[in-house]
Structure 1
């Protein structure tokens, strides 16, 4: 399915990172692990700076850490394209793990497949290592609450 082509971001990656520090401080409370790297029409790039706390025995980045990266990719896309409504929530997230990943930067390349008034459907390719191999792929849906001045973070 091709991505939706008529989308324009309303927030930059820097604005998203600042917004997430404000509305979701527990995400990076002990270290700046998750961040928005880039926002562009119809998508974004997010990063997990995977360290010791993200590893399971054997030195592999844990599934929950990669799942969180996929979810953050969707959150960054919905915030950057539908507006800074912090009450947007995940309604579905499905992930397939393809390869193991070691500590270091892990990037999620997220694209919006469909952005409507109440739902956003996206997919994300999670890549790592010097060759940028896919280590996981996820698809998800975010619910966008009805527009209300009370929901929008300024």
Structure 2
């Protein structure tokens, strides 16, 4: 059974209390929107959002997209995550990830994530990732 947005948010909070990511939307087509606030702690020298924050956001978005389809399976794990930083994100806005799954198999899932500065049309980063799904 597919979890609701509230169930996924509760799972993230319980299992990953350190995350600052929030689930903004789950679409019927399997795509998700996840956001991360930006404050002083998320900035690197030069006043831009740090790469690790955007990598975390991409990973969480992909994890949420997968769990939204297969149910809450805590041991689904990242096996590969690659990111291209495209432009400097604005430091005065949240960063928002839009993720869609490219392939959802029995043991592997592949997805892509576009990251935007909130309110902007052009992506600041693009990531692709693969997750291993444990056998039931």
Where on the TM-score scale, by shorter chain, does this alignment land: which range?
over 0.9
Task: Give distance in 2, aligned partners of 1:91 and 1:103.
Answer: 32
Q: Distance in 1 between matches of 2:51 and 2:22?
A: 18
Q: What is the aligned partner in structure 2 of residue 21 from structure 1?
A: 13
Q: Do 1:125 and 1:136's aligned partners in 2 also have CA atoms closer than 8 Å?
A: yes
* Equivalent residues of 1:60, 1:103 under 8 A apart: no
1:38 aligns with 2:25: yes
Residue number in structure 2 paired with 1:48: 36
Unaligned runs of 5+ in 1: 1-8, 28-32, 148-154
What are the ranges of 5 or more consecutive residues in structure 2 without an aligned counterpart?
none
Tell me the TM-score normalized by structure 2. 0.92
Task: Answer yes or no: is 1:106 the counterpart of 2:87.
Answer: no
- The question of whether the paired residues in 2 share the 8 Å contact of 1:89 and 1:144 is answered with yes
Structure 2 CA distance for aligned equivalents of residues 16 and 117 of structure 1: 20
Q: CA RMSD for the aligned pairs?
A: 1.4
Partner in structure 2 of residue 150 of structure 1: none
Shift of 1:25: 1.5
Match of 1:84, SS?
coil
8 A Cα contact 2:113 2:126, kept in partner: yes
Check whether the contact 1:59–1:103 (CA below 8 A) recurs between aligned residues.
no
Deviation string for 1:89-130 (max 9, x for gaps)?
Answer: 000001000011123211111000000111110001101154
Preserved contact between residue 110 and residue 128 of structure 2 (Cα < 8 Å):
yes
Distance in 1 separating the partners of 2:118 and 2:13: 27
- Name the stretch that deviates more: 70-79 or 123-132: 123-132
- How many positions carry a matched residue from both structures? 134
TM-score (norm 1): 0.82
Tell me the distance in 2 between the aligned counterparts of 1:129 and 1:23: 26
